[in-house]
């Protein structure tokens, strides 16, 4: 049996969808299981033992219909028995339609359902602490397995060499790994997913005051100005605990460094999902417009904790649509003051 899974989205989505390969491998040890993903997301699934081949969706396919057709033609030649299109966008619709697979599976959209042999309406209410992102994906395997698989947690697979190198790097930079070390996800993927800089600085002050810990910032080189702005807003005493220049130069390096951390704290997004997949504790601050039930995966109130403005000020959400909240995200973020988060964060730190 040959199965192709298509997940053209961000790092967290690609990592989360990787659970389908583990579930399939348990049932079909000899199957060919391939993954079509955006090229830049590969590091989070590199070394995954359940995936046979990777196919990359690049800028060429994004920008050229001719390149997209060539990719679809190549996929058709592989003669897959089943194609699972997790996200269901135009390019994946096109690839699936031309694949020739007998089983074509995706989530239900009224305008694309004719392409697929099986579609599923996504659940809106989670049944387990795994959350909707996990539960809805596992439902996609029903037509192949004739059942919904047991809950599986996403995993990142680091090599012993990567862990050794990251440990050496931290120690070279005077990080004491026998003492608390917190990775702070100071920036989201965009401004509408980034907790206000001054508010974030206040929370970092709280972390240091509560734990006397060493602090790392998660950012990439082109975000250095914004990360520096948050650093500058922290108290001078807090700044002494921040190792600002210690960060991963690549996604794999970031993950290897995070594996050595006590916990990751900060904005909801790919970094949180990666920390969970590394079995590192997390405290997540959700953007006011993001649906918490979809992405608060495996939240148990101890190892993984999160907070949303809707948790503390539900009155702001009465009769409001998600699009309205997203458009007014600045106003909602202003209402999400650090004092609403501080007590829950301190309780997490003490655990």
- Dump pLDDT digits (tens) for 78-108: 999 999 999 999 999 999 999 999 999 999 9
**Contact criterion met (CB below 8 Å) for 211 and 282:** no
* pLDDT value of residue 222: 85
* 160-350 matches 2-145 in CATH topology: yes
Architecture of domain 160-350: 3-Layer(aba) Sandwich (3.40)
Give the pLDDT band (50/70/90) at residue 221. Answer: confident
Q: What is the residue-averaged pLDDT of the chain?
A: 96
pLDDT one-digit tens code per residue, 155-185? 999 999 999 999 999 999 999 999 999 999 9
How is domain 2-145 classified at the architecture level of CATH? 3-Layer(aba) Sandwich (3.40)
Query: pTM for the complete prediction?
Result: 0.93
Domain layout of the chain by residue ranges: 2-145, 160-350
**Residue 220: what pLDDT?**
81
pLDDT band at 209 (very low <50, low <70, confident <90, very high): very high
Average the pLDDT over each of 116-120, 187-191, 229-233, 330-334 and give the range with the smallest value: 187-191
């Amino acid at each position: 049996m040959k199965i192709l899974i298509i997940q053209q989205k961000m790092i967290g989505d690609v990592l989360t969808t990787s659970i389908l390969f583990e579930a399939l491998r348990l049932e079909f040890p000899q199957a060919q299981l391939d993954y079509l993903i955006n090229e830049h997301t590969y590091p989070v699934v590199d070394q995954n033992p359940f995936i046979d081949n990777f196919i990359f969706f690049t800028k060429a396919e994004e920008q050229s219909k001719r390149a997209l057709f060539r990719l679809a033609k190549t996929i058709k030649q592989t003669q897959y028995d089943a194609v699972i299109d997790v996200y269901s966008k135009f390019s994946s619709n096109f690839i699936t339609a031309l694949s020739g697979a007998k089983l074509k599976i995706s989530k239900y959209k009224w305008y694309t359902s004719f392409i697929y042999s099986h579609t599923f309406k996504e659940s809106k209410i989670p049944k387990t602490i795994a959350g909707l992102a996990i539960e809805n994906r596992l439902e996609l395997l029903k037509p192949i397995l004739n059942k919904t698989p047991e809950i599986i947690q996403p995993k990142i697979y680091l090599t012993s060499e990567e862990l050794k190198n990251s440990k050496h790097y931290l120690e070279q930079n005077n990080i004491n790994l026998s003492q608390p070390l917190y990775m702070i996800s100071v920036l989201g993927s965009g401004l509408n997913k980034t907790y206000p800089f001054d508010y974030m600085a206040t929370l970092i002050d709280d972390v240091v005051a509560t734990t006397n810990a060493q602090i790392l910032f998660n950012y990439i080189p082109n975000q250095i100005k914004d990360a520096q702005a948050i650093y500058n807003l922290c108290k001078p005493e807090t700044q002494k605990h921040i190792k600002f220049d210690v960060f991963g130069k690549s996604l794999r390096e970031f993950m290897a460094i995070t594996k050595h951390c006590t916990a990751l704290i900060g904005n909801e997004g790919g970094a949180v999902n990666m920390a969970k997949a590394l079995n590192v504790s997390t405290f997540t601050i959700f953007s006011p417009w993001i649906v918490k039930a979809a992405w608060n995966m495996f939240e148990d109130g101890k190892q993984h904790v999160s907070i949303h403005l809707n948790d503390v000020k539900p009155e702001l959400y009465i009769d409001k649509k998600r699009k309205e909240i997203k458009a007014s995200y600045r106003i909602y973020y202003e209402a999400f003051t650090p004092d609403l988060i501080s007590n829950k964060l301190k309780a997490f730190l003490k655990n």
